Structure 1
Amino acid sequence: MATTTSKTLSQALWNSADILRSKMDANEYKTYLLSLVFYKYLSDKMLLKASELLESDTDDLAQAQRNFEEAFADEELRDELINAVKEDVSYVIEPKLTFTHLVDMVNKGKFQLEDLAQGFREIEQSSEIFENLFEDVDLYSKKLGPNSSKQNQTISALMKELATLDIAHNGDMLGDAYEYLIGEFAADSGKKAGEFYTPQPVSQLMTKIVMQGKENQKGFSVYDPTMGSGSLMLNAKKYSNEPGTIGYFGQELNTSTFNLARMNMILHGVDIENQHLNNADTLDGDWPTDEPTNFEAVLMNPPYSAKWSAEKGFLDDPRFSSYGVLAPKSKADFAFLLHGFYHLKDTGTMAIVLPHGVLFRGAAEGKIRQALLDQGAIDTVIGLPANIFFNTSIPTTIIILKKNRSSRDVFFIDASNDFEKAKTQNNLTPEHIEKILETYIKRENIEKYAHLASFEEIVENDFNLNIPRYVDTFEEEEPINLTELSNSMRATNKAIVQAETELYDMMKELTANNDETAQQLADLMSLLQVGE
């Protein structure tokens, strides 16, 4: 079997999207491509597992399909096999609905969209973990084609393209490829779909910070109440030495994106019992309210300055009640921050990305910020470069919060110039990430880059956390040599006079063939005349 690298798999999957690009934008075609990739993954995994259970191990999907069909045709063997497969992978797809069989039907010109739709339904009904997973995949959308025949052709072409890829054997590689696709979709659709994705370099930085010193902890719990596609949480798996024990708790309002996160978790090999995901509005209704409710790490990249109800009843909500005021209706930034902080363990660390306005805006936001500073909750403020997110070009800040700190000082890092310029986005390189992380860990002053501000300094600045107040990045301009400037101006003026004189002499040679042109020529020469 040919070796597949993460790069070639990612690129092949991305190239598959060419079939859909002319028909709809990335925010829509991502649902079709990612769902079909996931369905193929489940189908291939089940076929290979069935062959293993039948003691007919094979890496060939066509052979695995034949093994499965033969066993299914045997009534006595079928029930035993179904139970064994369900116990192992928690679902079963009928032989006639596997991805392998459906592609065979495509090649024979006998494929029907309803068969794929039925395959989706069988997966959804097989286990609670898959419930409503494909509900956003409209196989009969007019965007796929004006009629059922054209829709069939579009999906058939996409399935044929995906059929050539070895998905089931690549383990975490497929998860990485999935991450690549999600990032490409976000980049391809900009603001419209960028909200559901945090660029990997930012995710890595935030995750490394919240996991500092806890890499070996078993049962580590991570919570993202605005999880999008789940990518931010999943980074914990990369930096833990006990990845199989991590508990993932996430909530997402958008159902389509919620389903994307569920697929993302499964493709990254997260055990079902470690997934705790909820599809609801984080601010309107607190979650989770059943144990556990507090977590070792809280990671958040909420929608910036979103609107929320801010109804008075929230003043009695334990998430917000101790602050006496609510985040304004027009800017829910602090509502998200307080929600996340409420669910943070006393020994945990929280990292949240927000616009810079939260650092200095007054009124209710100023009161909340002061209350957080009074209790020493704000540990570090990191200024990020502009234009590193897909849904906004504004500069953002990562705020690190902790409970029960022994000090109320705040560490400031101005990393706004730490980026690599790309075509449309600025990127944090691994070197930039390590520089920020090392600075965060050492917590020492670095001229024009980092400053540890005492609580007294914070008070003197009226609890304003605007980074330039604490990290002076002003660069003095070199003094101007007036003598050199005068000489340069004289030389420039001399060259201008010489050029005008030469042009005037050349124009004296010109002649006009009528009175109007002669007058225009005279007017022009009067402007250039340099006093002969």
Structure 2
Amino acid sequence: MAKGKGNKKVLASINYSIDTVKKIKDNYKFTIEEKQDILHKFVGTSPDNNSYFTPDVICNWIKQLLDIQSGKVADLSAGVGSMIKPLVEKYGSLQDGITFEAYEFDTNNSAAGEIAWSDYSQVNYIGDFNSIEQHEEIPDDYLYIVGNPPFSGSIPYWCEWNHAKNGKAKNNNICDAFVDLSVRKVKDKGFIALVLPYGHLYKGNATAKLRQWMKSQVALKGVFPLDQDTFAKAGINGTTVGTCLVIWQKGVAQEEVFFGELCDKDDIVKEMESMARQFQLFLSGDYEVKYLSDSASRLRGKVEQKIKPWTGEAI
């Protein structure tokens, strides 16, 4: 068990979440402050404790890495909507030009998320929704799909890369299913950013088949290993499972991959901001990032210009 929450904090989190769900069922009228509290205090209370909501610092980093300024965004396993929070301009409004569709299966998470985002016209929070079984109801025109899908368990899911000989669905790892679904639902040239178990990068069997299929659909753009304590305070008890943030772009050729490992625990927010700027330079295609290193709380890198200024011609 991760050393995240003491027993008193665990009990307080559980009691708060149970009380919140009870209030919702009793048609309690939440104040603005109480709605905002849900996003910071609510924890998943499902029997398997599988709701490890993504920490705010990681959600903010995803927004920075992708430089989300406008467009249609989705989270196919949204929890209470942690991925939406960095896009808030002020209470009741996201940044201009952004719409967000959040899909969530768990009943309690759904109840809490629907209340928390009820005053945001740019947010379509769709609760009690099984993204895997109801995938045909999900549009396929998202510019960004972000998220932290469930890691464990298997479900019947038809996919091009792993189905029965008679054409029917096989049981597939639930995380693999969400990755596949994200690829199918993001638009051409759109981006996917998912927090995944580190094993996604090297596991064999069906996951290897998934990676092989993905080569024909998306280009791997960035891999960002996360500290084992990233989810130490998530959920009820936390977890030290190894994770990484992976970014793909659909419908483009595979080229070099950006690998960014956070090193500076003393000022990790500043390092995240610096690395996001480096990643944007990398994505622009105008510069080639030669190396990255961390020194004295600053991310440093060497970039070489690849095009002539103002002309757009290659050097």
TM bin, normalised by shorter chain, reads: 0.7 to 0.9
Q: TM-score, normalised by structure 2?
A: 0.72
For residues 389-413 of structure 1, give each alpha carbon's deviation from its aligned partner in whole angstroms, at most 9, with x where no partner exists.
1242022111101112244332212
Relative contact order (alpha carbons < 8 A, sep ≥ 6): 1 or 2 greater?
Answer: 2
Quick one: which of 262, 265, 272 aligns to 2:114? 262
Quick one: which of 278, 283, 287 aligns to 1:439? 278
Residue 354 (1) aligns with residue 196 (2)? yes
Whole-Å Cα distance in 2 between the matches of residues 190 and 431 of structure 1? Answer: 35
Residue 180 (1) aligns with residue 40 (2)? yes
For residues 17-43 of structure 1, give each alpha carbon's deviation from its aligned partner in whole angstroms, at most 9, with x where no partner exists.
x9xx89x6633531314765xx7xxxx
Quick one: which of 286, 297, 306 aligns to 2:153? 306
AA paired with 1:195? Answer: S
1:26 match? 13
Does the C-alpha gap of structure 1 residues 407 and 303 become closer, same or farther in structure 2, counting only changes over 3 Å? closer
For residues 350-400 of structure 1, give each alpha carbon's deviation from its aligned partner in whole angstroms, at most 9, with x where no partner exists.
110011111001222112212323544221111111111124202211110
Does the C-alpha gap of structure 1 residues 339 and 363 become closer, same or farther in structure 2, counting only changes over 3 Å? same
AA paired with 2:124? Answer: Q
2:124 match? 275
Q: Percent identity?
A: 17
Whole-Å Cα distance in 1 between the matches of residues 17 and 225 of structure 2? Answer: 32
For residues 304-343 of structure 1, give each alpha carbon's deviation from its aligned partner in whole angstroms, at most 9, with x where no partner exists.
1332234xxx1xxxxx32x355998473222111111211
Residue 229 (1) aligns with residue 74 (2)? no
Q: How does 1:83-232 map to 2 (within 5 A)?
A: 117=26, 120=28, 176-182=36-42, 185=43, 193=49, 195-210=51-66, 212=67, 214-215=68-69, 217=70, 220-232=71-83
For residues 164-206 of structure 1, give each alpha carbon's deviation from its aligned partner in whole angstroms, at most 9, with x where no partner exists.
xxx85xx6x6654433323xx57xx899657152110011111
Conserved? CA contact 2:50–2:150, under 8 Å = no
For residues 442-485 of structure 1, give each alpha carbon's deviation from its aligned partner in whole angstroms, at most 9, with x where no partner exists.
3313256799xxxxxxxxxxxxxxxxxxxxxxxxxxxxxxxxxx
Does the C-alpha gap of structure 1 residues 445 and 176 become closer, same or farther in structure 2, counting only changes over 3 Å? farther
> Larger Cα Rg: Structure 1 or Structure 2?
1
Unaligned runs of 5+ in 1: 1-17, 40-115, 124-166, 315-319, 421-427, 452-532
Does the C-alpha gap of structure 1 residues 340 and 442 become closer, same or farther in structure 2, counting only changes over 3 Å? same
Q: TM-score, normalised by structure 1?
A: 0.45
Whole-Å Cα distance in 1 between the matches of residues 290 and 101 of structure 2? Answer: 36
Does the C-alpha gap of structure 1 residues 331 and 419 become closer, same or farther in structure 2, counting only changes over 3 Å? farther
Whole-Å Cα distance in 2 between the matches of residues 34 and 341 of structure 1? Answer: 33
Quick one: which of 169, 180, 188 aligns to 1:338? 180
AA paired with 1:26? Answer: S
Does the C-alpha gap of structure 1 residues 30 and 331 become closer, same or farther in structure 2, counting only changes over 3 Å? same
Does the C-alpha gap of structure 1 residues 238 and 385 become closer, same or farther in structure 2, counting only changes over 3 Å? farther
1:93 match? none
1:411 match? 258
Does the C-alpha gap of structure 1 residues 257 and 375 become closer, same or farther in structure 2, counting only changes over 3 Å? closer
Instruction: Report deviation, 1:302.
Output: 0.9
AA paired with 2:120? Answer: V
Instruction: Report deviation, 1:438.
Output: 2.3
Whole-Å Cα distance in 2 between the matches of residues 245 and 404 of structure 1? Answer: 23
AA paired with 2:291? Answer: I
Q: How does 1:324-335 map to 2 (within 5 A)?
A: 329=171, 331-335=173-177
Number of aligned residues: 273
Instruction: Report deviation, 1:429.
Output: 3.6
AA paired with 2:137? Answer: P
Structure having the higher strand fraction is 2
Whole-Å Cα distance in 2 between the matches of residues 349 and 306 of structure 1? Answer: 26
* Cα-Cα RMSD: 3.7
AA paired with 2:117? Answer: M
AA paired with 1:419? Answer: K
Instruction: Report deviation, 1:287.
Output: 4.9
Whole-Å Cα distance in 1 between the matches of residues 84 and 225 of structure 2? Answer: 21
1:394 match? 241
Whole-Å Cα distance in 1 between the matches of residues 217 and 124 of structure 2? Answer: 33
Whole-Å Cα distance in 1 between the matches of residues 246 and 58 of structure 2? Answer: 13
AA paired with 1:200? Answer: D
Conserved? CA contact 1:348–1:402, under 8 Å = yes
Residue 430 (1) aligns with residue 269 (2)? yes
Whole-Å Cα distance in 2 between the matches of residues 176 and 25 of structure 1? Answer: 17
SS of structure 1 residue aligned to 2:14: helix
Does the C-alpha gap of structure 1 residues 270 and 330 become closer, same or farther in structure 2, counting only changes over 3 Å? same
Whole-Å Cα distance in 2 between the matches of residues 190 and 288 of structure 1? Answer: 25
Whole-Å Cα distance in 1 between the matches of residues 46 and 57 of structure 2? Answer: 17
Whole-Å Cα distance in 1 between the matches of residues 46 and 123 of structure 2? Answer: 32
Conserved? CA contact 2:221–2:247, under 8 Å = yes
Unaligned runs of 5+ in 2: 1-7, 283-288, 295-299, 302-315
Whole-Å Cα distance in 1 between the matches of residues 86 and 106 of structure 2? Answer: 21
SS of structure 1 residue aligned to 2:251: coil
Structure having the higher helix fraction is 1
